[in-house]
Amino acid sequence: MNTLAEFQYRLPVRVSGARPGGHRGSSVGIGQEFAAHTRLFDHPDPRRIDVRASIRSMQREWLVRVHRQRVAVPVNAVVDVSASMRFGAASKKLDVAAAFVEALGHSAFRIGDPVGMLAFDDAAREDLFVPPRHARGMGPLMAELLRDCAPRQTRAQSRERGLREIATRLAGRACLVFLVSDFHWPLAALPGLLDTLTHAWIVPVVLWDRAEVEPPSHNGWMSLVDIESGEMRSMWMRDSVRERWRSAVAERRAQINALFARHGIRPFFNQGAFEPEALSRYFLEMTA
């Protein structure tokens, strides 16, 4: 029997909002988390009178208990659908992204958050736009759009333009943003785009295939094709090339970590099939 893939996520800070949900809120309302005592005159709700606290008060006034309300937060998956995301040995990275958004849809529905999707390559993909909604079928809907999306001729250098269009749409919104990409493009413009999303909580989801990060184990002549540009390059695989391959992967990972660390963000790296348990541990460590 197939089970729905889900992961647990919570924001590490208090957030404001009017709709009840699963995140710690900064406003008072219906909830289980005690915030403070206040006068019955200021908060006229006799059901919440605290008799013991009222007796102990110096002013001899009736005091009521005020609780913080748990709130819902809009969630947006921002997905890179450029040519490099269609590479993969066992499965394409775009299929892994589809598995992620499907799990995100199920998880957001269980928590009570509205969830939507925006996609980009060299521009924002209007055909893949899904506005945030709180509905049971959002996960399969977003996943199906990604699996069926048609490729377009793009350049790796132009992906920053598509991401800039997405960032402009989300600017000023307090929401949770999952930025899903392999980040195989120039990162120079990314700090400015992160500054645009200062009101959002960003979780970079770095999708890499094992064939990208681990070189072939056998020696011999091989041909490599740049999936973005279509350029072909031939090389002789040997031990020294494997070392440079692994060093380049480690350096790229360090660059991504350092770039996001300057904004107080820790990326989530996923190699191969999507691992919801690993993402749950990521959020558990972030909120601990």
* Same-domain pairing of 60 and 186: no
pLDDT tier, 19 (very low <50, low <70, confident <90, very high otherwise): confident
CATH code for the domain in which residue 154 is found: 3.40.50
Give residue 172's region: left, alpha or beta (phi > 0; psi -120 to 50): left
* Same-domain pairing of 229 and 130: yes
Position 23 in a domain? no
Position 9 in a domain? no
pLDDT tier, 225 (very low <50, low <70, confident <90, very high otherwise): low
Position 271 in a domain? yes
Question: Strand 28-39 vs strand 75-80: parallel, antiparallel, or unpaired?
Answer: unpaired
Say how far apart CA 182 and CA 238 lie, in whole Å. Answer: 26
Exposure pattern of 190-222 as b/e (b: 16+ CB <10 Å)? beebbebbeebbbbbbbbbbeebbebeeeeeee
Position 13 in a domain? no
Position 19 in a domain? no
Q: Kindly tell me if the per-residue pLDDT of 156 is higher than 70.
A: no
* Same-domain pairing of 239 and 124: yes
Split into its structural domains, the chain has a count of 2
pLDDT tens-digit readout, 249-260: 999 999 999 999
Say how far apart CA 159 and CA 15 lie, in whole Å. Answer: 31
Position 14 in a domain? no
pLDDT tens-digit readout, 177-220: 999 999 998 888 899 999 999 999 999 999 999 888 887 777 87
* Same-domain pairing of 105 and 162: yes
For 55, the domain range is 28-68
* Same-domain pairing of 144 and 247: yes
Q: What DSSP character marks residue 136?
A: T
pLDDT tens-digit readout, 124-138: 999 999 999 999 999
* Same-domain pairing of 203 and 245: yes
